[in-house]
Amino acid sequence: MPELYLLDTNTASYIIKGKPRQVRERLLRAASSNIAVSVITEAELRFGVTRRPELSRLAMAVEEFLKRIDVLPWDSDAAKSYAILRATFERVGQPIGNLDLMIAAHALSSQAVLISSDAVFHRIKQLTVENWIE
C-alpha cells in the first residue's frame, strides 16, 4: 500500500501561497491520491480566511486547494489517539497545543506520514514526520 501523506496546516498554507517553492515541487512528485489533510487543517484554513475577509484571493485559493485534496474526517480512532497523546504529554509536563495534537493523532490513526516543518511534532516518537522545506 502506498504511503499516505498528511499535510499539516503550515504545509497546506505553503502550497496554497506557492512559497517556499520546494514544498510545491515535492508535492508534485507525490501521487495526488496519496496526499490528504485532516479536517482539523481544513478548519484552521477556513478560520484564517474568515479572519481576513478582505483577502478574496486567499479565500478562492483555499477553496480550490480543498476541492483538489482529500480531507480526512475525524473519527473515533483519531479521538482515541488524541486522548492517549494528550494524557501522555500532560503527565510529563510537556503539553502540546490541542490542534497540533489533533492533527498528530489523526496522522497516527490514519498511519500517515505527517508533512510538517514544525519541530513540536518530533516530540511524538511514534509519529513519522517529513519536512518538505529541507
Q: Which domains does the chain have, with CATH numbers?
A: 5-130 (3.40.50.1010)
- pLDDT score, position 56: 85
Task: List the grid coordinates of 77.
Answer: 480512532
Residue 71's CB is within 10 A of a number of other CB atoms, namely 14
- pLDDT score, position 26: 87
How far apart CA 41 and CA 116 sit, in angstroms, is: 12
pLDDT in tens, the chain (134 residues): 558 999 999 999 999 998 888 898 888 888 888 999 999 999 999 999 999 877 788 899 999 999 999 999 999 999 999 999 999 999 999 989 999 999 999 999 999 999 999 999 999 999 999 999 97
Pairing of strands 70-72, 129-130: unpaired
How far apart CA 40 and CA 46 sit, in angstroms, is: 10
